[in-house]
Structure 1
Amino acid sequence: MSTPTPVIEGGPGDPVIGSPRSAPGHPDGAGARKAPWWRVAVSRSVPILAALAGIAVVWYAVSYLVLPEQQRFLLPPPHEAFGSALSNPQLMGPMLEALARSAGVAMVGLVCAVVLGIGYATVMSQSGWAERILYPYAVILQTIPILALVPLIGIWLGYAFTARVVVCIIIAVFPMISNTLFGLQSASPAAHDLLTLNKATRWQRLTKLQFPAAVPSIFTGLRNASGLAVIGVIVADFYFQQGAPGIGGLLRTYTLRLQMEALFTAIALTALFGVVVFSIFAALDKAVVGRWYGGHTR
């Protein structure tokens, strides 16, 4: 007499009895409790603060132990480098205005790079011949040194807002193209076969399968492109000196004048701006994509 096979009730998303997900100690189990927000913030802030403390220790060591006193102006200790600049409104005012101008250029360039990159990758994903024809142009644009293109961009477009945005786009667009294309092509063949059996149109296949599958890759490209857009605006400001200066233009001015305190302060503000931009898009990535994956893969 054969023993009947037990039937397990529940949907496909429900954890199976005895699986790791149903264990009380597993993060996704019933007994898991979410950590308080302040504990999460502290745990994430400790490594950053430790890194900053390490940089300060090395900085002080080089300033006082490595450099002789007559050369200490090349690397003044942190309290001198930042203290004199931060306490000088005539210096900080123009610096913050230049940073705001650079931030506007970087954001416009990033938006354009995202739109162009996603559109370019979408066209390539629709057929093999389109990818073979178009992808080499993206690679060539990525491999040409940007410093070789900056003079041409300045001659063709001038040295104002438009030229700086174009530099940002050139630097930031390739991660959007490559990551979006990878994501659009990452849908499983079985899912494509299912849509084929249901006689889905090309538009339905793109919107209901390929783009949802590409969302994690698109956000990865967005994180990378956001940092590259900041680099692009610094490069453009550094070489395009006409018009109102950006933060990159001030970096060049401070370097030529050997204003070390102002130079270090401008570098710190630029780095802080880059970190803030990257952190915003990283948090957006976690908020959007993390809901789909529940923290298992990210």
Structure 2
Amino acid sequence: MTTYDRDRLYARVNDPAQALSGLRETVQQYETAIDEIETRYQAPEIEEGSVSLVRQFRTVFKHARENIEMAEDHIQLAATPKQFQRLRTELEDAHKRGVCIQLSLHVPPDEALPFDHSKFANVCTEVRRRDLPDPFVLLIDRQRACYATQNTLSNEYGVIVDDYTTAYVFHWYYLTRLWEVYEVIYDDRSEEPPYSFVEITDCIREVEPALDRGASITGRVKGTFIHTGQECDLTGQFVDVEYTGSREDESPASLIELAAEARIWFATDDRSYAIGGRGATKEDIAAKRFIIEQIADSTDS
């Protein structure tokens, strides 16, 4: 309290309990915030998928590096040569882990590849060159995706996905616009088995012509039993294929013909299994890897 007496000023100190009540309230708010932060930090991670919109390409690229390091089976990447070089170390490490890596490389039609094809060795499984520029795209195990427009305008943005259903849309965008129609410039597969595939569509294209001519195809299927969630690694024979579309000639089925339902029948010593691709729901097994170990034609001795 303050009082005035003519030309003199007198001041009286307020009660400390009243003066400190506001400070105590502020301290209590900070302590509550600290407790909440500690609770959220120790809480288990959220399992649901997520989709995030970001404003800068560098944010998407940072997540791309982290996702490549977590890849277990399959990487699909659409990038420029410069971006590929920046990710090369992470891609090489993933290749060493047995990850299948497909690269759609944008090089303008009037330009030469800025480096030798040897740069792809021990880094990529298959590389295709495309003329048309497109956004940066990365897909990991059909579960996570990184997408970004690339320009200096104000409408630059990116999308970061951790959700199977949403990533599936990006997967088909990648196949139809960035992959299927372009020329193969590098392939590390040998001309003779064993062959390894992560996509059921690619496996069907390989085994169907051989089955049509009566060949016996032995190999393995790695995946998950749909009804139990148990992982499996089966050895047996590829005996038949089914898909919604139909071939008009003897050439391998097109991507469009395989775009709906597609399955492979695989026989072990015990029984025959219906095999679907990653995310299958109607078959016995959702496969992550198809391995063809031998193709023996009926005329082989």
Q: TM range, normalised to the smaller chain? A: under 0.3
**Structure with the largest fraction of strand:** 2
Report which of the two has the higher share of helix.
Answer: 1
TM-score, reference length from structure 1: 0.25
Provide TM-score, normalisation by structure 2.
0.25
